[in-house]
Amino acid sequence: MLNRRHFLSSSVASSLAASIGLASPALWRGNLWAQLESLPSKLPDPSLFDRDEEAYWRELRQQFLIPADEIYLNNGTVGSSPAPVLRAVFEGYEKCEKLNEADPEDYPIWGYGPFNEFRDPLAAFVGCKRDEIALLRNATEANNYIANGIDMKPGDEVLMTDQEHPGGEHPWNLRAKRYGIVIKKINLPKPVINPGQILSLFNSYITPRTRVVFFSHITTVTGVVLPAKEICALARGKGVISAVDGAHVPGMMRLNVHDLGCDLYSSSPHKWLQAPKGSGFLYVRDEMIDRLWSTLATEGWDEPQLRAERFQRIGSSNVPALWGLRASIQMANDIGMDRIEGRQRHLCDYILASMVKRGAQTWTSPDPAMRCAIATVNVPPIKRMELETWLWKEKKIRIRGGEPNKLRLSTPYYLSKLDIDKFLDSFDEFKKSKA
Q: List residues near ligand PLP by CB under 6 A.
A: 77, 138-140, 165, 167-168, 216, 220, 245, 247-248, 268
**How near is the Cβ of 252 to ligand PLP at its closest, in Å?**
11
Please give the Cα distance from 38 to 265 (Å, whole number). Answer: 38
| Minimum CB distance to ligand PLP smaller for 63 or for 268 | 268
Q: In terms of Cα–Cα distance, which of 6, 7, 5 is closest to 86?
A: 7
| Minimum CB distance to ligand PLP smaller for 165 or for 343 | 165
**How near is the Cβ of 246 to ligand PLP at its closest, in Å?**
8
Distances 283 to 125, 246, 250, 383 between C-alpha atoms, Å? 12, 10, 12, 39
Categorise residue 261: left if φ over 0, alpha if ψ from -120 to 50, beta otherwise: left
Please give the Cα distance from 238 to 417 (Å, whole number). Answer: 46
| Minimum CB distance to ligand PLP smaller for 166 or for 380 | 166
- Is residue 354 a contact partner of residue 73, using CB atoms and an 8 Å limit? no
**How near is the Cβ of 290 to ligand PLP at its closest, in Å?**
26
Q: In terms of Cα–Cα distance, which of 122, 134, 125, 117 is closest to 288?
A: 134
| Minimum CB distance to ligand PLP smaller for 39 or for 296 | 296
**How near is the Cβ of 225 to ligand PLP at its closest, in Å?**
12
**How near is the Cβ of 140 to ligand PLP at its closest, in Å?**
3
DSSP string, 241-270: EEEEE-TT-BTTB---HHHHT-SEEEE-TT
**How near is the Cβ of 388 to ligand PLP at its closest, in Å?**
16
Residue 299 has, within 13 A of its CA and on its CB side, a CA count of 7
Show the 3-state SS of 95-153: HHHCCCCCCCCCCCCCCCCCCHHHHHHHHHHHCCCHHHEEEECCHHHHHHHHHHHECCC
| Minimum CB distance to ligand PLP smaller for 216 or for 295 | 216
| Minimum CB distance to ligand PLP smaller for 16 or for 142 | 142
| Minimum CB distance to ligand PLP smaller for 190 or for 431 | 190
**How near is the Cβ of 396 to ligand PLP at its closest, in Å?**
23
